[in-house]
Structure 1
Amino acid sequence: MAPTYYEARTAAVLAAREPKTFVTSREPEIPVELGGIPGDRHYGLYRKADSRQSFYPRGTLIANRRQISIVSAEECALIAEAMGIPEVRPEWLGANLLLEGYPALTSLPPGTRLLFPEACGLIGEGENLPCRGPGKEIADALQLPELAGRFIKAAKRRRGIVCSVEREGSIREGDIVRIYLP
């Protein structure tokens, strides 16, 4: 019996090409290597431990399990509604992929596999916890400073997931992704 899967559509592919910012920009297609998206600020097989891994000394070299960030259009709409604004763009969140058609993206368990038509395979590593940076970016983009503090609460359990790359390939806007639960 073949494994059961769900499907979603890749509404946007994005990359953070500027090293000084996490903000991403849309591209029609992104190549994906075992280290992530070449040229993206989160590219690499390894990264330095930060506040998320307080059990390691800050700066310790660890495996990069945050190579790709994915958000859903449905959850972005819920964040916008909770913040009282018309929209939350994936660029403002530093997302690499915007999916539509799987509204509970953030609740996917670690170990979920996301398989794309052009060979690319990702492994969900867990929820991307909300932080201050996107709130500030949203506030700056809309020129409403009071929004900065609202993001973390509005994005709780809606911020999407982070993934590592299991198989190289490419991802295009419009691709249908198969989502296999562990």
Structure 2
Amino acid sequence: MITRVKGIVRSLFIGAPGESLVKQERDFLQAEMDGFLGDRHASFERKAWGPGDKQRKGVIRRNERHWSAVSAEELAEISKEMDLSEVLSAGIIGANLCFEGVPSFSLVPRGSIFKFPSGAELLVEEYNPPCLDMGKALAAKCHTNSGRPIHDTAFAKAAQFSRGLVGVVEVPGMIKAGDDVEVIIYAPPLWVQSQENPWVTS
């Protein structure tokens, strides 16, 4: 049985090459086969950044990070956990898309598809873990309700399981703020589920 979830595109962001980690809000994004037009993460390949990546630093590899996405609900929870005076936007943490209405957003599995009215489709590659550089940037620019300083590791702790997703463009097309989105949750084919799999441990 295919699980489908409906949500909406809350907001969209783009970050030009050479700009800071922050991305700027836009009314629409044009998805091409190598990523979002004009975004610094658009490319068919990228360099591995070292510890935490799949290859040693500097290795040229396939770019599985055409886009990054978060949910409004999880951003609100992260902001609350950090005691922030303002709710984080997707752009301030470098994401391209902010969705609303998709439960347990960061747990959407690899292989799931986001489908948009234009025909554009985005494919989920993996969870996007929080990094220390982003935590340091947020600590320098955000404020708490209590007035206490924000520790560099506060974001990583608050967003440990809710930082969002990264993936690639499956089908090009335009994505607009306010668009409906259909999320087709990936599940292995029934013939795979019915087999004993030595590679999966409980």
| CA distance in structure 2 between the partners assigned to 1:27 and 1:20 by the alignment | 15
Aligned to 2:156: 152
Q: Secondary structure at the match of 1:66?
A: coil
Q: Secondary structure at the match of 2:157?
A: helix
Runs of 4+ aligned residues of structure 1 deviating over 4 Å after TM superposition are none
Native 8 Å contact 1:113 1:123 kept in 2: yes
Say yes or no: does 1:166 pair with 2:170: yes
Q: Is the Cα contact below 8 Å between 2:143 and 2:150 reproduced in 1?
A: no
**Separation in structure 1 between the aligned mates of residue 150 and residue 3 of structure 2, nearest angstrom:** 44
Q: Which residue of 1 aligns with 2:182?
A: 178
Aligned-pair RMSD on alpha carbons? 1.7
Q: Check if 1:23 corresponds to 2:22.
A: yes
The one-letter amino acid of 1:29's match is F
2:129 maps to: 129
Letter of the 1:98 counterpart = C
Within 1, Cα distance between the matches of 2:150 and 2:93? Answer: 17
What code does the residue aligned with 2:49 have? D
Query: SS at 1:53's partner residue?
Result: coil
Instruction: Indicate if the aligned counterparts of 1:75 and 1:103 stay in contact, CA closer than 8 A.
Output: no
Q: For residues 90 and 141 of structure 2, what CA distance do their matches in structure 1 show?
A: 12
User: Which runs of no fewer than 5 residues in structure 2 stay unpaired?
Assistant: 187-202
**TM-score, L = length of structure 1:** 0.92
* Aligned mates of 1:154, 1:57 — CA distance in 2: 28
Residues 33-67 of structure 1 show CA distances to partners (whole Å, capped at 9, x for unaligned) of: 0110122110101111122334x332111111111
Q: Distance in 2 between matches of 1:19 and 1:103?
A: 34
Asked whether the 8 Å contact 1:29–1:170 carries over to 2, the reply is: yes
Alignment of 1:1-182 (within 5 A): 3-51=2-50, 52-54=52-54, 56-86=55-85, 87-142=87-142, 145-182=149-186
Aligned-residue sequence identity (percent) comes to 32
Letter matched to residue 129 of structure 2? L
Give the secondary-structure state (helix, strand or coil) at the position aligned to 1:5.
Answer: strand
CA distance in 2, matches of 1:174, 1:112: 21
Distance 2:161 2:56 in 1: 28
CA positional deviation for 1:135: 1.8
Stretches of structure 1 that go unaligned for 5 or more consecutive residues are: none
Richer in helix (by share): 1
Aligned length: 180
